[in-house]
Amino acid sequence: ESLAGHLPTRLKGLDEALCGGIPFGVLTELVGPSGIGKTQFCLKLSLLASLPANFGGLDGQVIYIDVESKFSSKRLIEIGMKSFPEIFHKKGMAQEMAGRILILRPTSLSEFAESLHQIKISLIHQHVKLLIIDSMAALVLGEYDCGASRQQALGCHVSFIKSLAEFSRIPVVVTNQVRSQIGDEPLMYSFQAQNHSRKKDNHAAYDSHLVAALGINWAHAVTIRLVLEAKSGQRFIKLAKSPISPPLAFPFNITSSGVVL
């Protein structure tokens, strides 16, 4: 499905499991509870897509749909300065790198739909190498309280986003916040066999929550699902859905250099 290539995350185990990184041409979903690091992960991917090719980047532009105004160019530059000082400490380069990321802040689903059509045009004419939507659920949940109409409205957008990924052959990364529906427990999966029953429960909670919020079309449209979660103070990123890999999990941290293993 991803013959066109990958955007490496530079999280070693994850890149190996993904056969090189976030695949081009399909939807990759990042899900997890509030504060787990979804936006931080998106900042890192934006940076990696915009880096010059001799630093292993895609040397491209990024379209970043920032629904909740969480994007921070200051933080992006901080991550760049720490991770790629050779580039970011050169005069004017930090601004140039940040300038490669086009931020869109739609305030409604209809504005979002309009921006998708503009995006389609820029995908043809510009050097866009990554599309991020942070977050889809926020966009959709902000607009409707009725599940049926929300899912109807979403259905066509989902197909359109998927077609954007396919026709432009770029990675499309979408975040979604989830909460466990089992009491107030934070959403977390266990990777240990002895906790197998809880793991199953949380999977069910996750699925029903997302389906309730975004509809079954959404769940099926996503090719790669990465679940971010915390367990005993340690953050994990788990490859929860993949056509090629078993559900592996990798510990990660968030430092001044961004998301690191």
d(CA 99, CA 79): 15
Q: Quick one: which segment of 14-22, 31-39, 47-55, 156-164 binds ligand GTP (CB under 6 A)?
A: 31-39
**Tokens describing residue 145:** 């309280």
Six-digit token string for 204: 């069910």
Name the pairing type of β-strands 128-134 and 22-23: unpaired
Chain centre to alpha carbon of residue 113: 19
Which residues 64-103 are close enough to bind ligand GTP by CB under 6 A?
Answer: 70, 75
Among 99, 117, 255, 261, binds ligand GTP (CB under 6 A): 255
Q: Does 159 bind ligand GTP (CB under 6 A)?
A: no
Q: Check residue 123 for interaction with ligand GTP (CB under 6 A).
A: no
Is residue 150 close enough to count as binding ligand GTP by CB under 6 A?
no
**Between 37 and 215, CB nearer to ligand GTP:** 37
Q: Interacting stretch for ligand GTP, rule CB under 6 A, among 29-37, 96-104, 143-151, 161-169? A: 29-37
Measured CA to CA in angstroms, residue 136 lies from 67, 75, 107 at distances of 8, 22, 12
Cβ closer to ligand GTP: 243 or 251?
251
Q: Per DSSP, which regions of 22-140 are E strands? A: 22-23, 27-32, 61-66, 101-104, 128-134
**Dist CA 229 CA 251 (whole Å):** 9
Structure tokens at 156: 């066509």
C-alpha–C-alpha distance, residues 243 and 56, integer Å = 25
Q: Using CB under 6 A as the criterion, what x/- string covers residues 164-203 for binding ligand GTP?
A: -------------x--------------------------
The answer to whether 242 contacts ligand GTP (rule: CB under 6 A) is: no
Measured from the CB atom, is 113 or 254 closer to ligand GTP? Answer: 254
Phi, psi of 22 (to 5 degrees): -70, 120
Q: x/- binding map, residues 39-58, to ligand GTP, per CB under 6 A?
A: xx------------------
| Cβ nearer to ligand GTP, comparing 75 with 120 | 75
What is the CA 82 to chain-centroid distance, rounded?
22
Q: Which residues bind ligand GTP (CB under 6 A)?
A: 32, 34-40, 70, 75, 177, 254-256
